Amino acid sequence: MTATTTTPTRTPPPERSGRRGAALLQRLVVVRELGILAALVLLIGITLIANPRFLSGQNVRDLMLSAAILVVLAAGQTMVIITRNVDLSVGSVLGLSAYATGTLLANMPGTPVVVAVLAGMAVGALCGLLNGVIVAVAKVPSLVVTLGTLYAIRGLDSLWGSTSGRLQINATDLPAGFKDFGGARVLGIPVLFLVAIAVVVVVGIHLRSYRSGRELFGIGSAPEAARLSGIPVGRRVLVAFVVNGALAGLAGVLYAARFQTLDTTAGTGLELNVVAAAVVGGVAIAGGTGSAWGAALGALLLTTIGTSLPQLGLDPFWRDAAVGALIIAAIALDKSLTDRLAARLRGRNLRGR
């Protein structure tokens, strides 16, 4: 009687499968970002045909200034959405920070610009801390929390303006140094846009190269698995909200420097554009996927759409329609790419057995 031996089934190690999934996911994210870049170039090309002066020096600088604030907000929102959350209060946080910065500079004209920037970021960080504590500690859904703080912070801003007797801060109330900061350029590029690029670089490097940043993707992909693997989920989510709030505060300072006329309605409705920029830029609304670079491209695309429509002779209504269509297309593409990724991973695992 001869003994028969069976060859054991070889199952690829989980870590190898995870690396394959991460590599494929990274490749799909790059494809998404290249698609957004191609759409941006195509839109600029079409607008140039309609108006060859579209990319004149002043128009380009105005486009950069218009995009700077949205780019900063989208970079911060990316960190939150990656964790499977959302912050709808960023428009109100921007308004409160802008008004606080303007009030500080109007009452203390000798305040250095750096101090004003830090003060605005501190106001935003406190608002982010409030959101983060309720979401991460009290376990209340972020959509509900930030919808509530959207109105609460806006109400606080209005109350501050009415009790102080200063419902509006004009350019004449601001010191010359701060106004110069708003219009400063380096090699022809607005300083505000360079600040926005610096923010995107820092956030992008942190998400890609640091453990605390990479863990945000794990939280967004599978919160329970992340918790079981030892990732401090609550702490990471809290920090993401604080950083997002601080960047919304920075955007408030940039808003004050850019427009130099402030009231308690600054930033109203901006939160939807911020979420749209991130989602269109490849940040999956379900969490776990995306990059600051893609969100910045999404912000540039939305800003360019708003600037291009008048050049093409189209009604501004079509901007909102285009943004809505882009959001739907981005979500549908995310679903399609996720399904394809899952199918490819299943196929590779079956072949590896």
pLDDT in tens, the chain (353 residues): 444 444 454 544 444 444 554 555 566 566 677 778 888 888 888 888 888 888 777 888 888 998 999 999 999 999 999 999 999 999 999 999 999 999 999 989 888 999 999 999 999 999 999 999 999 999 999 999 999 999 999 999 888 888 877 778 888 889 998 888 888 999 889 999 999 999 999 999 999 889 999 999 999 988 889 899 889 999 999 999 999 999 999 999 999 999 988 888 888 889 889 999 998 888 888 888 888 999 999 999 888 888 887 777 777 677 677 777 777 777 776 666 666 655 665 665 556 55
- pLDDT at position 320, please? 72
Tell me if 353 is assigned to some domain: no
Instruction: Tell me the C-alpha distance between 206 and 325, whole Å.
Output: 31
Amino acid at 203: V
Q: Compute the distance between CA of residue 175 and CA of residue 229 in angstroms, rounded to an integer.
A: 52
Domain that holds residue 207: 29-38+57-338
In a domain? residue 225? yes
Helix axes 233-259, 113-132, angle to 10 degrees: 140
Within-domain flag for 5: no
Specify the pLDDT at position 322. Answer: 73
Question: Is residue 8 situated within a structural domain?
Answer: no
User: For position 70, what pLDDT does the model report?
Assistant: 95
Where residue 128 sits, what CATH number does that domain have?
1.10.3470
Would 231 be classed as within a structural domain? yes
Q: Total domain count for the chain?
A: 1
Looking at the domain assignment, is residue 118 inside a domain?
yes
Q: What pLDDT, on the 0 to 100 scale, is given for residue 193? A: 94
Q: What does pTM read for this prediction?
A: 0.86
d(CA 12, CA 353): 7
Examine residue 180 and state whether it is found in any structural domain, yes or no.
Answer: yes
* Token code pair at residue 164: 């102080």
Does residue 224 fall inside a structural domain? yes
* pLDDT of res. 9: 47
Paired tokens of 215: 């863990």
